[in-house]
Structure formats: structure tokens, C-alpha cells
Amino acid sequence: MIQYILECIAFQLLFLVIYDFFLKKETFFQWNRVYLIGTFVLSLILPWVKIEAFKQQVPQTFARYPEYLWGLQNEAVVVDSNDATWWNVTWQEGILYGGMLLALLLFGLKIRQLYLLRKSGEKVIYPLFTQIVITNSNIAFSFFKSIFIGDKVLKMKHDTIIAHELVHIKQRHTYDLLFFEFMRIVGWFNPLVYVYQNRISELHEFIADAQVSKEHKSDHYEQLLAQVFQTEHISFINQFFTQSLIKKRIIMLQKSKSKKVWQLKYLLLVPMVLGMLLYTSCEVDPKSDSKETIDSTSLKSSLEFSYAVVDEAPIFPGCEDADDKRACFNEKIQKHISKHFNYPQAAQDANIEGRVNVMFNINSEGIIENIKLRGPDKLLEDEVERIIKRLPEMTPGKHKGKAVNVPFSIPVQFQLQEDNTANMVSEISDDTEMEPLYYVNDRKITKLEMEAIDPNTIESIFILKDQKAIDKYGEEGRNGVVEIRIKK
């Protein structure tokens, strides 16, 4: 998600550079309106577009640090899907949602401000618009099909002002501004959304000025613009008297109409978009959240390197002072899976279960990357991917003193019980000091025998707890039972 946001912002910046340097001063106002709205929408779509033809033009082999597969014995516990809670969000997500909530509240205050103005004003209904007269005020702006105008403005010659605001109404400029207002709520952290909204608001005034100046004398209109008035500071209304814009509007009114040949400038968009498509289709970003599907051959090949163990394993946050950092890592990652697990309801309804094999790299910067999955259904794969993506940044593993990429593999078992309760393999709970029973292929073994098992020979691990363990194994299974299946 972070990569997507950064790509959107980067694309918007490039589009704005083209606009400010090549298009902003031209009088192709309607073209520029389409450009601003269109490029913003494009910036949201392009990061998702992958062109297969472009992929084939870029070499697939890149120099990287050596990788060492780190295999851990992943013990399991049955987790009920009802244990998953909707409020399991990271602090980054908390900031994001908190900012969106604050932006939404500010938007609500602006709407309330408009509502109070409308309520306090005197309404005069015309065929094309509703005029709302505000007492003891100099304001003049439009919102949808309403023109808010101060009674002091009505005392002067105001025909050009009404005509100006009617252009905003007829061309539905309010929709443009509300679109960017919504984008400000969703992307409150993106400064370029505010720049886009400022540019489109400025452009609306140029469009209205150009239309009105065809029917009114330019010198009178410019004299009117040069006056100083007050206005309401609301970001999604079309304001007639905006002091910061008056000078620009006068300059644009005096500007000669741009020659049609300069419309060729819009062709700059073509190589820009092609370059963006090339980037999104062919990039190999070590910090990307890419997902690949593992075929059986590649998974088996990867597991054959389990003896190449790194000197220093990656350190999970909170394990820095642990005596056995590997064991702590195993415990933390299992707790992470258990905490964030949520069996997809669609998979439950379709009775989909099975094991999802997931591999991912903890790269030389401690970032999770290159997530690869193989499972019985995309619903289960997507759930595992979601959980793995939420892993925190770690201290990278080291080999011979150098930070290296450390691939990590873990099987995640989804199982529907007879009562249709969704369960998944995670970790053995540490809420009891009592020793569980261990069974390998239905044969009882000791804990020492269990610890001696090569993790790469394990096909699946299940845990039975509480009443389910007692029902199957009697009182002997009161402390839980670990059922291990070895590959044949």
C-alpha cells in the first residue's frame, strides 16, 4: 500500500510539472480542465496497470545479496475465526484512519457553514438558479445551483457577477471541486491533492471570466475584478471575489487567445504515460509488496537449501534481548498470525479449506518482500498474504558479518471443523506450563523426538485443545495434542 501511495504521488507530481510549465498559461481552459481531472484519475489507476508486452522487454535477472533459507519448526494452535477482531490495526493505519476522520469532520463543518448561510439568507428562485441574499455582506459565490450574494453587492452593478456564477453552475464546476474535496479526505496526507484543487479552482475562474467577457466590456469587468471584497473561505465553492486570484484573472483576460498549434503540447502526456506504464509493468522493487504463486517445483527446490543457515537470524521487534532469538522469532511470528487471522467468510460458505504454503524474504533492510504463495484457493492465499504484509520491519539477518536476504517459509493450514468453525494452524499457546501429547502419523512420540524432526519433512501440524482433545484422546489429551503429519 505504501508503494502504491508513493507511486500515485510521484505520478501526480510529474503531471503537475507538465501542467505548470507547458499548459497553465495557455487559454485552452476546457482542455486544461479535462487534463487536471483526467491525470489525477490516471495517477490512481496507473500503479495497478501491468502491460505484459512491456514486461518482456526488461531483463528478469538482477544482482542481489545471497539468500539463505531459514526453516523453523512452526507449531500450531487451532484458532476460531470468531476470535479475529476488526480493530486489529497497526499504528500506521490508526494515523491514516484518524486523519481521514479529522478531514471528514472538517468537511462536515464546511457543509454546516453553507447550511447556516443558506438558512439565514433570503431566497429568490429563478428558472436557472436560486439566489440567496446574505444581509450585511460582500460575499459572492456559487454552490451547485445556488448563488450566494451579499446585499452590499446587489447595491452596485452586479449583472456580470451573476453571469459569472451562472457559468460555474451551467458547467457543473461544483462537481470538480467536490471530487478533489473527497480526495482530500481519503488522501489528507498528500499535499498534491491540495495543489490539484487549487489549480482546478483557478481554472474555473478563468473559464467563467472568458465566457462573461464575450458579452461585457473587458475594461468594466477588469475594473470590477480589481475591487477588494470579503469572501467565505470554503475550498469547494466557486468564489467570485478571491483576492489572491484577481491579479491572475486580469492578466488572463488581457492575454491573447492561444494558437491552436499549441494544443500539440498535450501530446507530452503520451510519452509520460508510456513511461509510467513501463515503470509499473517492469519495476523490480526490493521493497514492493509483490505476490507470486509458487509452483510445486520451486517450493521443493527452495526447501532443499534448508541446511544453509544464516549466522545471525533476523530479529523480530521485541526479541532483541531474548536469549534464543530464533525461538523468540518463531513465537512472535506465530502470535502475529494468530492475532491477525480471519478465515474468509466466502471460503467458509464454500467449504474451502487446505494448506497455504507461503514464502517471503526478510531483505537486507529488514523489510518483508517477495511474498510467494501456493494454496488450494485464492481466497485463502489472499488472507495469508494480508497477514504477512502486516509483519513489522525487523533487524535483518547476517551472514559472515553482512546483512543478507533471508527467505522464510511457513505452512498455514485452514481447516473447517464439523461445527463449521473456521480454524487455522498457528502456534502452541503459552498459557499453560503443562506438556501436551505429540503424535506423528498417529504414533505417539516424546517431546525430544518431536524436536528432532526436520521441519522440511513436515506436511502439516494440527493442535487439538480443551474438549476437542479430550473427545479424541480421553483424559490423556487434557493438556492438548499436537498432531504432525510427515511427508511421504
* Predicted local distance difference test score (pLDDT) of residue 77: 35
C-alpha cell of 163? 453571469
Mean pLDDT of the chain: 78
CA distance 335 to 70: 19
* Predicted local distance difference test score (pLDDT) of residue 304: 30
Helix, strand or coil, per DSSP, at residue 234: coil
- Strands across the sheet with 368-374, in order? 291-293, 368-374, 354-362, 406-416, 422-424
pTM reported for the whole predicted model: 0.56
Residue 306: Cβ within 10 Å count: 16
* 395-412 pLDDT tens trace: 888 887 888 888 888 887
For residue 450, give every residue at least 6 positions away whose Cβ sits within 8 Å of its Cβ, in sequence order, or none: 438, 440, 482, 484
**Complete DSSP assignment for 337-389:** HHHH----HHHHHTT--EEEEEEEEE-TTS-EEEEEEE-S-HHHHHHHHHHHH
* Predicted local distance difference test score (pLDDT) of residue 476: 85
Query: Which has more pLDDT, 42 or 481?
Result: 42
**Complete DSSP assignment for 388-452:** HHTPPP-BPPEETTEE-BEEEEEEEEEEE-TT--EEE------S--SPPEEEETTEEE-HHHHHT
CA distance 278 to 74: 40
Query: Which has more pLDDT, 243 or 346?
Result: 346
Task: Say if residue 181's pLDDT is above 80.
Answer: yes
* Predicted local distance difference test score (pLDDT) of residue 107: 95
Q: Which residues of 334-348 are buried (b: 16+ CB within 10 A; e: fewer)?
A: bbbbbebbbbbeebb
Task: Say if residue 289's pLDDT is above 50.
Answer: no
C-alpha closest to that of 415 among 354, 373, 480, 348: 354
Confidence grade of residue 450 (pLDDT, cut at 50, 70, 90): confident
What average pLDDT score do residues 62-77 get? 38
Residue 333: Cβ within 10 Å count: 22
Residue 67 sits at φ, ψ, to 5 deg, of -115, 140
Note whether 254 and 226 are within 8 A (CB).
no
Region of poorest pLDDT, from 166-175, 289-298, 431-440 = 289-298
* 370-387 pLDDT tens trace: 898 888 888 888 988 988
Region of poorest pLDDT, from 207-211, 306-310, 351-355, 443-447 = 306-310
Task: Say if residue 354's pLDDT is above 60.
Answer: yes
Count CA atoms within 13 Å of residue 399 on its CB side. 14
* 298-347 pLDDT tens trace: 333 333 333 246 778 888 898 888 888 877 887 788 778 777 777 788 88
Confidence grade of residue 60 (pLDDT, cut at 50, 70, 90): very low
In this structure, the chain runs to a length of 488
Query: Which has more pLDDT, 222 or 382?
Result: 382
What average pLDDT score do residues 404-430 get? 60
* Predicted local distance difference test score (pLDDT) of residue 218: 60
- The DSSP letter of residue 78 is -
What average pLDDT score do residues 206-229 get? 68
Query: Which has more pLDDT, 250 or 235?
Result: 250
* Predicted local distance difference test score (pLDDT) of residue 155: 83
Task: Say if residue 40's pLDDT is above 80.
Answer: yes
Amino acid making up residue 254? Q
Q: What percent of the chain has pLDDT over 70?
A: 75
Q: What percent of the chain has pLDDT over 90?
A: 28
Which of 54-58, 165-169, 366-370 reaches the highest mean pLDDT? 165-169
